[in-house]
Amino acid sequence: MKKIIAFLLFIVMLTYSYASLVYYVKKGDTLFSIAKRYHLKVDTLKHLNNLSDNNIKVRQKLYIRKSSSTKTQKKKVIYHKVKKGETLWRIAYKYHLPFQKIMIWNKIKNVGDLKTGQVLTIYLDLDKKDTYKKRKSSKRIRYKGKLKLPVKGIVETAPLHKGINIKCRNGSKVRSSGKGIVEYVGQLTGYKNVVIVQHNGNLFTIYGGLGRIIVRKGQKIRSGKTLGYISKMSYYQYPILHFEVIHYGKNVNPIKYLKRY
């Protein structure tokens, strides 16, 4: 009998503990009312639930506090004002963050949508070491004239983006210009399906206009590795690969970084 009572008490305590961790949004709730009810700051509630704004939905699950077994991460909110000529890549490099996170936090659909004077919300994890300084002081690797042309074709200027367009056949193989790690696989407005590869020395190469992609995020690849295949984009008269090079957070001229083609 005592064992049964002890077990029931354990279940009650476990249920109470879980209930104190999780809250389901009810009709009429706001982040401010929920934060006030549980004696929390709104920013704390947003951080616990990875929210980029104050919008919540009925029946949405919110974490009110983290489990005692989980290490609490210290985060700092920064409001970054976009300067003239500043790009998303430059800002991501400055704070040592994936550009996708900045896009999600600020509901940016197109990497080229930044406007001078726009204020971006950025969340920094204070528990992590400041690796930006380490990267900044690292030895620069010279890439000019060393990258391979990613696809056979005719090189043209890219009027809609920074970079170049390479006119090629539909279904052509697109290969990595150098060895590295696949940083991003997905869709970006104006790029269709895109692959972004991170190389040593804070250099990124961007491959836009793909149809089928055969690599995955986080995959280590060699120079010349097939990333995917070209598929004609509706707003171009012919199949093209859009190719960009980002070095130390800046868009640079890909022609200067490619071997003779």
**pLDDT for 199 beyond 60:** yes
| 154-257: CATH superfamily | Glucose Permease (Domain IIA) (2.70.70.10)
| 75-137: CATH superfamily | LysM domain (3.10.350.10)
**Which of 15-29, 66-80, 116-130, 204-218 bottoms out in mean pLDDT, i.e. has the lowest?**
66-80
pLDDT tens digits, one per residue of 140-197 = 556 677 899 999 988 887 665 678 899 988 889 999 999 999 988 888 776 778 999 9
- Residue 44: CB partners within 8 Å, gap ≥ 6? 35
The C-alpha atoms of residue 211 and residue 170 are separated, in whole angstroms, by 9
* CATH of the domain spanning 2-63: 3.10.350.10
pLDDT tens digits, one per residue of 20-79 = 478 888 888 888 888 888 888 888 888 888 787 778 888 888 888 654 444 445 678 889
**Sequential DSSP letters for 59-108:** T-EEESS--TTSPPPPEEEEEEEPPTT--HHHHHHHTT--HHHHHHHTT-
Domains of the chain by residue range: 2-63, 75-137, 154-257
Query: Averaging pLDDT over each range in 5-14, 20-29, 42-51, 215-224, which range is the top one?
Result: 215-224
Residue 252 structure tokens? 């640079």
The C-alpha atoms of residue 245 and residue 251 are separated, in whole angstroms, by 6
**Predicted confidence band of residue 93 (pLDDT cuts 50, 70, 90):** confident
Residue 174 structure tokens? 């697109």
Three-state DSSP class for 157? strand
Neighbours of 103 (CB within 10 A): 19
Q: Is the fold of 2-63 the same as that of 154-257?
A: no
Distance, first Cα to last Cα, the chain? 84
User: What percentage of the chain reaches a pLDDT higher than 70?
Assistant: 76
**pLDDT for 5 beyond 60:** no
> What phi, psi does 224 have (nearest 5°)?
90, 0
